[in-house]
Amino acid sequence: MTSILGLAEGYIQGSILLNGAVGGNTNPVSFLFGGLGGYGGGSGITLQSIISNPQQSLDAIGTRLMDPKTVLDIATKSFLANVGFRFARKALSRNINMVNRLMFKPLALGVKL
């Protein structure tokens, strides 16, 4: 069963890592699509730029990840996001269970909050 909150947390964690590693205002969607079809808007490295010029792109990513300040920033944001999601799940567990039981389970969608 797919968890919507799990997907949201994964997206946030991916966004934190990509923003720190490739720079700019990059999120997973802008990294994958690189501004195609109205997606993106990030100014960092995209998957398209890695494919077209892998050496330069990977050197830039490596340089960013060798900076202790960047790594500490990524680790701090990731930790805080993890703690935030855990707190929200605990604080809202009654409401989440009610929505799962009354809304998602009868629809048999294979998803839950």
97 pLDDT tier (thresholds 50, 70, 90): confident
The domain in which residue 78 lies consists of 2-112
Q: How many C-alpha atoms does 31 have within 13 Å on its Cβ side?
A: 18
Q: Which residues pair with 2 in a beta bridge?
A: 111
pTM more than 0.85: no
Q: Please give the structure tokens belonging to residue 38.
A: 């109205």
Number of domains in the chain: 1
Q: Within 35-92, where are the H helices?
A: 47-52, 54-66, 68-91
More confidently predicted of 34 and 12:
12
112 has a pLDDT exceeding 70: yes
pLDDT at 36: 60
Residue 38 scores a pLDDT above 70 = no
Residues 51-75 pLDDT 10s: 888 899 899 899 999 999 999 999 9
Rounded Cα gap, residues 77 and 100, in angstroms: 29
Q: Determine the straight-line distance between the first and last CA of the chain, rounded to whole angstroms.
A: 10
